[in-house]
Amino acid sequence: MDFIQPLPTVLILAHHSLLSGGIASTLREYQNVFNVRLIDSETINSPETIQTESPAIIILDAGDSDIFQKTPVTQLLEWAPNAKIIRLDLSSDRIRIFSSIELQVTHAVDLVGLIQSLSNTELNI
């Protein structure tokens, strides 16, 4: 019996952003690749809202300042530590990707080694 992997969820958080609506519409054309959910950032009042969706990707519009006041990137990474957060910046035609890594460090020397390895590592997305 073959096990079918569930499609990864792309969660788009928006409040007053036409860009986010357009992105959601475009991404929904790829419904066989991922599940797209557009959520009004005003409805996010607890970690459960994000955790229930279990997103692989969270997309934010840099021009939608309400989102960053209501749900800072660090808060989103706490709620969905395995997600990659993509911040779209239409004004500069760029994206910024945020992710979270949690490691156990018990001694200062562990921290030093970790800092050295991270500073020598290339971006691996």
For residue 65, being part of any structural domain is answered with yes
Residue 4 lies in a domain: no
Residue 125: pLDDT over 60: no
Determine, yes or no, domain membership for 88.
Answer: yes
Does the predicted model carry a pTM greater than 0.85? no
Determine the Cα–Cα distance for residues 100 and 85; give it in Å rounded to an integer: 9
CATH number, domain containing residue 60 = 3.40.50
Residue 55 has pLDDT above 50, yes or no: yes
The more confidently predicted of residues 120 and 94 is 94
Mean pLDDT computed over 66-82: 84
Q: How many domains does the chain fold into?
A: 1
- Say if 3 falls within a structural domain: no
In this structure, of 15-19, 37-41, 61-65, the range with the lowest mean pLDDT score is 15-19
Angle, vertex CA 50, rays to CA 42 and CA 83, nearest 5: 125
Cβ–Cβ < 8 Å for 59, 23: yes
| Mean pLDDT of all residues belonging to the chain | 84
Report if residue 74 sits inside a domain: yes
CA 86 to the chain's CA centroid = 6
Residue 2 lies in a domain: no
Position 43 in a domain: yes
Domain enclosing residue 59, as ranges = 9-119
pLDDT attached to residue 121: 63
Residue 116 scores a pLDDT above 90: no
